[in-house]
Chain A
Amino acid sequence: MKGEKDNKFHAPGTLVLAFIFLGFFIALYFINWVMLSGTWAVR
């Protein structure tokens, strides 16, 4: 049930910061895979 038991708090700034961080993480992730793909084929 929602209502007074619900854990309500107001932190919109944090959510924005968290998504900025995630965006940064995702960008680094893909940059690294692109770097890897530039090297010799390995198996």
Chain B
Amino acid sequence: MKTFMFSLDTALKSLWQEKWINFLTILSVATGLLILSIFSVISLNADAVVKRWASEFGMIIYLDDSADRTTEERLQREFTNDPDIAQVKFISKNEAMKDLQNTLGENSSILEHVDENPLPASFEISFKNKNLDSLYVKKKTALIEKMSGVTDIQYAEKWLSSLSIVSALLKAGVIILGSAIVIAIVFITYNTIKIFFYRRRSEIETLKLLGATRTFIRLPFLLEAIFIGMAAGLLSAAALFGIHFFVTNKLPNFLPAVSMLKIILPAVVYLILPLAGAAVSFTGSFIAVGKIRY
């Protein structure tokens, strides 16, 4: 415990004495963490958008003209009981016609010459969010298509699959970029701590000769790295908060379309950033102080 307090004291003194190099290290690490968190947020949101849009598009199932009340009711029951389906809405031939008339508005007069209603009855269904990947939707479509009374199915397949690909690519990109940034941060803190270690090598040699344990020698460096990482994490969290605030509260004044994006940014990110910063920079410093030999 006393060793810990002494190491803490040494680490804090060194933080101050080497404030410029520490400041630059914190800045570099914070930049890395900020880039990483921005990309993670983008990827997270892209994923959410894909799911939201897909569920809003849902799927339209057109019924055979010959389908009678019982068929309609049977399908309705089946869809309602399907655990994967979130919502079911039946649109009868008449309702479909009304919708069309409403859509056409004053141009609806062209419909006056149509004697028999040519529009099919349909079901609009939407899926539970968690199930929405394009493979799953394809499978489900094939199953529904085989049901009797169903003629055709329309859904945003192209959209869905290309969006899923974009989202998957983003995720892969974030993982690659993330690993690169983590390695870069490890390297940056490794370098900084190595420099400190090198500058204090004669002091360390003396400490060894006086009987200091490895922990006693290493701890100040490790603590300093943890402070650097944490400070960088806090800095990047503050920057992220600022950017988020700007995008949600200020940017819509110039770019109203932005307000349509409902940005998801879990608050836990602000906690993860300092912790991740500390952990990664601890790793770098741990490698830097290396194995101490007497």
Q: Answer yes or no: do A and B interact.
A: no
By a beta-carbon cutoff of 8 Å, the part of chain A in contact with chain B is none
